[in-house]
Amino acid sequence: MKENKAILFFDGHCNLCNSVIDLVVRRDKDRQILVASLQGEAARQKLPQETREKMSSVVLFEPPGKLSYKSAAVFRIARILRGRFLLLLPFWILPRFFTDWIYDLVAHNRYRLFGQRNTCRIPTEDEKSHFLE
């Protein structure tokens, strides 16, 4: 049931974000997380306007409406996917202002460091079950 799954909203134009989505799709064998771009209709329906306007990287939506941002979203995704992702969890004990600062540093420079796409990614036939739209 798609309505009971977490949704990872990402910047569909960002190469780094798309690489992270590729990793999530490959590792999420149980299909616990759906993915959708911040630029899409699902984001307009699920996320507050101010979130869509301010966010330029990832937001994790968990039913019935819990939102996680920045490093908190990364740590929640690691908990859901388990496996090697759990190696990120020791950093969870660091102060949030510090992990968010690192997240912001990477997010601010991601286009310059990793490039960007002119359009949002199109999922392959195998990936479509992971995508909300």
81 is written with which tokens? 């996917």
Sequence-ordered strand ranges (E) for 11-126: 33-37, 59-62, 66-69
pLDDT at 121: 67
Domain that holds residue 36: 2-130
Our measurement of the distance from residue 88's CA atom to the centroid of its chain's CA atoms, rounded to an integer in Å, reads 15
Selection from 51, 54, 87, 94 nearest residue 71 by Cα: 94
pLDDT tens-digit series, residues 70-116? 999 999 998 888 887 777 778 888 999 999 999 999 988 988 888 88
Q: In CATH, what number is assigned to the domain containing residue 8?
A: 3.40.30
**pTM for the whole structure:** 0.84
Check: CB of residue 26 under 8 Å from CB of residue 129. no
Reduced to 3 states (helix: H, G, I; strand: E, B; else coil), residue 83 is helix
- As for how many domains the chain has, the answer is 1
β-pairing, 33-37 vs 6-10, is parallel
